[in-house]
Amino acid sequence: MIRQHPSPNHGPRRDGLLPRFVILHYTAMASAEAARARLSDPAAEVSSHYLIAQDGQILQLVAEHNRAWHAGAGAWHGLHDINSRSIGIELDNDGQTPFTRLLMRSLETLLADILHRWAIPPQNVIGHSDMAPGRKIDPGPLFDWPRLAALGLAAPANATPGTTDLTQFRSRARAAGYTADADDADLLQAIRLRWRPKATGPLSPEDIAVLPVSSGS
């Protein structure tokens, strides 16, 4: 069951755009109630379409046909104004602890409905860190992307040969969707947050190998 908690922080999608991406975030707040209050505070000027609490409760703050204010500056597959092109989901998590089983189950149900409703392909489910390298790190290294991929709700990791060539790294990253302005270090961090959260050190062949060859938009 989805509870309605309308937030005033929204507007119309620009230029007739429709949702083609889903952006996942974590709240980094003390509780879901604290996050709901902030996402509904006009002074904060932030919002999301949905907020999922640790106990699995789903709150809808903004109607899907409206433009919520969750993504900010960034790009994906060369596209900007991601707010007008996406549905934002905030997850009640502090970024330091695992996401609860009940939260993940509710997210999976909600995602399946959204992808079906708007004909969004799984590869267009991304993290805030994917579209804003260096600026955002959520939903963070503890988020279970492989679980979503196994259910057909996100892109799976690739397994093709890689090198440590920076030119190839940037080319493959751009083909996978990473088109926001970012230096090499921030881009590597964003890719590892999504695809190799336990990896450390300099660029390795695995950082390139894991990237989807082309996820489309």
Q: H-type helices in 90-204, by residue range?
A: 101-118, 128-131, 145-150, 166-176, 184-195
The answer to whether the CB of 36 falls within 8 A of the CB of 5 is yes
Of the residues 33, 45, 64, 90, only one is catalytic, namely 90
Residue 196: how many CB atoms within 10 A of its CB? Answer: 17
90 is catalytic: yes
Distance set, CA 20 to CA 9, 14, 72, 114 (Å): 21, 13, 16, 10
Q: Measure CA 132 to chain center.
A: 10
Task: Quote the longest CA-to-CA distance of the chain.
Answer: 49
Residue 11: strand, helix, or coil? strand
Would you state the structure tokens that stand for residue 134, as one six-digit string?
Answer: 């260096």
* Residue in the block written with tokens 């949905």: 50
Would you state the structure tokens that stand for residue 131, as one six-digit string?
Answer: 């579209």
Determine the angle formed by the axes of helices 166-176 and 184-195, rounding to 10 degrees.
50
Residue 138: strand, helix, or coil? coil
| Catalytic residue set | 90
